[in-house]
Structures are given as structure tokens and as C-alpha cells.
């Protein structure tokens, strides 16, 4: 998601029309790096929320847009950056907690949640209901959050003591 300030609209880009003709469009497809932290993700979700509200204002008769507000996306953001996903930790038997998930795991899961919600909307589900259903979908959580998180924790536990310290080689000389 990019904002108008981040988009260069002075460039003309060639593309193919449905009938095979080559046409030009003003502006280039803009790609942005992934959000570096929760605040950048929150800002992108604000843009997404505002865009959906604008679509709702232009197409008020569409039932799948009923009830879409900026707050809808704020709740989604709170879910992703909150205790349930980005700050998720489990108390272990020894009293310690697991580390919070890696940011790339959180971002991948967030992407899969939006993808699931959009699929539900295409099937005719209301956007508000679709987002909630995506957040509650056990299969999506298992495949795109819990399993990668377990693999990451297992990989970190199996590293030798001292791994990652020193000159970057992963090996620490014994004293």
C-alpha cells in the first residue's frame, strides 16, 4: 500500500489491454518495502481502511461494504500487533517464556489474513464479517503462524551454545 506522496505519476507505463493492444497508463506500479515495525504496519492499515471507506462512500448500495469503517481496520491492526500475534509468547514449564515471533512471520500471517478476508468478500461475505472470520480461522493461523513459529522456536533451541556471537561465523572459540 502506498500513499499519493510515495507514487510517481509523471511516468507513462506501457501495458497490454484485454484485446491485445499495447496501451500506456500514467504512473508506474509502486512497490514499497515491507513495514519495519508495528507503527509502519499501523500506518499502512490506516491507508487501507481509508481506501475501503472511500469505496463504501462511492458504492453505498453494495452489501459487502456495509459497516466498513476505519475502526474496522484498527481492530484488525490491534489483533496483528497485539498479544495474539506479534507479542505472542508461551510460558514454558521451566518458567521462561518463548521469544516473540519474528517480524517476517507476523507480516506473512497478516498478509494471509487479508488474503483470506478478500477471498471471503469475493464469495459474497461482508467485509467486516470477512475480516473477523479471517482472524478466527484456525486453518490460516495453523498454516501461516503457529507452524512457522514452532519451527522458528525449534531452530533457535537447537543452535549450539554461543551461536551468533563473535565474528559472525557462528563459532565461538572455547577458552
113-164: per-residue pLDDT in tens? 999 999 999 999 999 999 999 999 999 999 999 999 988 888 876 655 554 5
Average pLDDT of span 99-118: 94
Rounded to two decimals, the pTM is: 0.73
Where is pLDDT greater, at 170 or 97? 97
135-150 in b/e form (b: 16+ CB < 10 A) is: bebeebbeebbbebbe
Tell me the C-alpha to C-alpha distance, in Å, between residue 133 and each of 39, 48, 52, 79: 24, 18, 18, 13
State residue 142's pLDDT score: 96
Task: Dig out the grid coordinates for 165 from the structure.
Answer: 556471537
Model confidence at 168, in pLDDT bands (50, 70, 90)?
A: very low
Q: What is the mean pLDDT of the chain?
A: 82
State residue 32's pLDDT score: 77
29 pLDDT higher than 80: no
Model confidence at 84, in pLDDT bands (50, 70, 90)?
A: very high
Average pLDDT of span 54-75: 91
Report the percentage of the chain scoring pLDDT > 70.
73
Where is pLDDT greater, at 1 or 75? 75
For residues 130 and 114, what is the distance between their CA atoms, to the nearest angstrom? Answer: 9
Q: Is 175 strand, coil or helix?
A: coil
Average pLDDT of span 75-98: 91
For residues 14 and 24, what is the distance between their CA atoms, to the nearest angstrom? Answer: 4
For residues 51 and 70, what is the distance between their CA atoms, to the nearest angstrom? Answer: 9
For residues 78 and 75, what is the distance between their CA atoms, to the nearest angstrom? Answer: 5
DSSP 132: H
Amino acid at each position: 500500500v502506498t500513499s499519493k506522496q510515495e507514487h510517481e505519476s509523471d511516468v507513462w507505463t506501457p501495458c497490454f489491454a484485454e484485446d491485445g493492444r499495447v496501451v500506456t497508463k500514467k504512473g508506474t506500479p509502486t512497490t514499497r518495502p515491507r513495514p519495519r515495525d508495528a507503527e509502519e504496519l499501523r500506518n499502512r492499515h490506516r491507508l487501507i481502511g481509508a481506501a475501503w471507506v472511500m469505496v463504501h462512500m462511492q458504492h453505498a448500495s453494495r452489501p459487502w461494504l456495509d459497516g466498513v469503517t476505519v475502526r474496522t481496520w484498527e481492530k484488525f491492526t490491534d489483533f496483528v500487533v497485539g498479544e495474539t500475534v506479534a507479542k505472542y509468547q508461551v510460558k514454558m514449564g521451566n518458567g521462561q517464556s518463548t521469544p516473540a515471533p519474528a517480524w517476517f512471520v507476523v507480516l506473512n500471517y497478516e498478509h494471509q489474513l487479508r488474503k483470506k478476508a478478500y477471498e471471503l468478500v469475493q464469495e459474497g461475505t461482508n467485509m467486516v464479517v470477512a475480516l473477523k472470520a479471517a482472524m478466527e480461522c484456525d486453518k490460516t493461523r495453523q498454516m501461516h503462524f503457529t507452524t512457522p513459529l514452532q519451527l522458528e522456536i525449534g531452530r533457535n533451541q537447537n543452535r549450539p551454545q554461543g551461536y551468533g556471537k563473535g565474528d559472525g561465523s557462528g563459532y565461538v572459540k572455547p577458552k
